[in-house]
Amino acid sequence: MTRFSSSVNSLRSSEIRDLMSLANKPDMILFSGGMPDNNLFPLHQIDEIYNNLTEKEKQIAMQYGPTSGIPELLTSLKAFLKKKGLPVDENKLMITTGSLQAINILAKAFIDPGDTIVVENPCFIGAISAFKSYQANIVSVPLTAHGIDLEQLKETLANAEQKPKFVYLTPNFHNPAGTLYTLETKRALIEILSNQDIPLIEDDAYSDLWYYEEDKEHLTTIKAMNPTGIDVCYTGSFSKILGPGLRLGWMLVPEHIYQKCELIKQAVDACSPSFTQMLAHKFVESGAVYNYIDDVRIQYKQRAETMVAALQKNLPEGITFTAPRGGFYIWLQLPENIDSTEILKKAIEKGVVFVSGKTFDPHGVKNNNLRLSFCNTPVDKINEGIPLVAEAIKDEIKRK
């Protein structure tokens, strides 16, 4: 009866969201969410920041701000990004309502229904939803341990019926795969995309959460490499380095792309929350952000290494994974004939929850993987929960 648009009819609720109610049970061990640990938020710093705001700053916080962001945060965030080597002066910065909004706005700027775009497989679920909501024809290229499969990417670009509108990648600590692209992969990627008239959306929500000094050269973002002949649209987020409840992310993009994105943003929500922008500004400007990242990096590294050790001890033969070098996730590779949704059902019975592989398949099919998040689970719970996951896997392997 109700005549909805064709684009909304292409959207489906995902398994992970259907499972949200389970995740709320108090005694369930959660390896499912991509949210920081509630106990790691810098509450004392935010208290101090709030209580030191002047009346004028509080007024700014309560008022509409410019579409691109409040000038205070634009200035301090530019300095933060410049330290990461990003070309802030040659590009335009826009504060967005979370980095998902940045990705969504870029999707709207480029995608007409039926347009081809290229993503990794697996892929961040929020990006998949955004691209589907504009009825993109999503073509996916597998991830290897070093980054996107370059040969398959070349083939995909050569054989695409329509030139892709963009390529969307998460080179640093991929969600869900945890992968860190090597510098060589990044360089080879630049060569492939250069002068192809195909913009690159580089999702960089996790690069501050590296664990090992020796990885630093690989962490350089493609945007910071300033490749010629590629419009790199760089997106980032405060969700992992301050708090997702602030709903603040950003895009750093070439001027001509920015112009279009600003018009879209004006029609979407006019501006991002000034209130949380003011808090984020003070957090960055004061330098508190650097100490905070140093602190949480240690916590997440410890959790990652705990989970890796527990997996190595408990997993049966034939299950593989790459130990993460940063970020929030471990991605288990299961035998071809195993369905991770079946494992998930068993795991929930045992009191532990994760996310099944097909959630991150842009085509919603491939299900012999699963994602374990260690970001919001303390070490003792990781040691308690991983044996239960391993048991569920063993049960399912036995059943097959």
Interface pick for its own copies out of 60, 95, 141, 372 (rule CB under 8 A): 60
What pairs with residue 373 in β-bridges? 329
Q: Which runs of E-coded beta strand occur in 184-226?
A: 200-203
Interface pick for its own copies out of 32, 73, 76, 108 (rule CB under 8 A): 108
- What part of residues 284-323 is at the interface with its own copies (CB under 8 A)? none
- 141 contact partners, CB below 8 Å, separation of at least 6: 118, 119, 120, 121, 148, 149, 152, 153, 156
- What part of residues 142-181 is at the interface with its own copies (CB under 8 A)? 163, 165
* Contact status: 22 vs its own copies (CB under 8 A): no
* Contact status: 362 vs its own copies (CB under 8 A): no
**What mask, x for binding its own copies by CB under 8 A, covers residues 2 to 21?**
xxxxxxx--xxx---x--x-
User: Diameter of the chain by CA atoms?
Assistant: 66
Interface pick for its own copies out of 80, 134, 181, 292 (rule CB under 8 A): 134
* Contact status: 197 vs its own copies (CB under 8 A): yes
Q: Are 335 and 397 in contact (CB under 8 A)?
A: yes
Rg (CA), the chain: 21
* Contact status: 130 vs its own copies (CB under 8 A): yes
**Cα–Cα distance, 169 to 372 (Å, whole number):** 20
* Contact status: 23 vs its own copies (CB under 8 A): no
User: What is the DSSP code (8-state) at residue 121?
Assistant: E
* Contact status: 132 vs its own copies (CB under 8 A): yes
* Contact status: 55 vs its own copies (CB under 8 A): yes
Part of the chain binding its own copies (CB under 8 A), chosen from 132-140, 285-293, 309-317, 391-399: 132-140
Interface pick for its own copies out of 269, 294, 295, 349 (rule CB under 8 A): 269
Place of tokens 């990885």: 215
**Cα–Cα distance, 387 to 393 (Å, whole number):** 10
* Contact status: 63 vs its own copies (CB under 8 A): yes
**Cα–Cα distance, 43 to 39 (Å, whole number):** 9
* Contact status: 212 vs its own copies (CB under 8 A): no
Of 267 and 365, which CB lies nearer to its own copies in the complex structure?
A: 267
Main-chain phi, psi angles of 194, to 5 degrees: -65, 135
Torsion of CA 243, 248, 252, 254, to 10 degrees: 160
* Contact status: 272 vs its own copies (CB under 8 A): yes
- What part of residues 247-266 is at the interface with its own copies (CB under 8 A)? 247, 256-257, 260, 263-264, 266
**Cα–Cα distance, 364 to 349 (Å, whole number):** 24
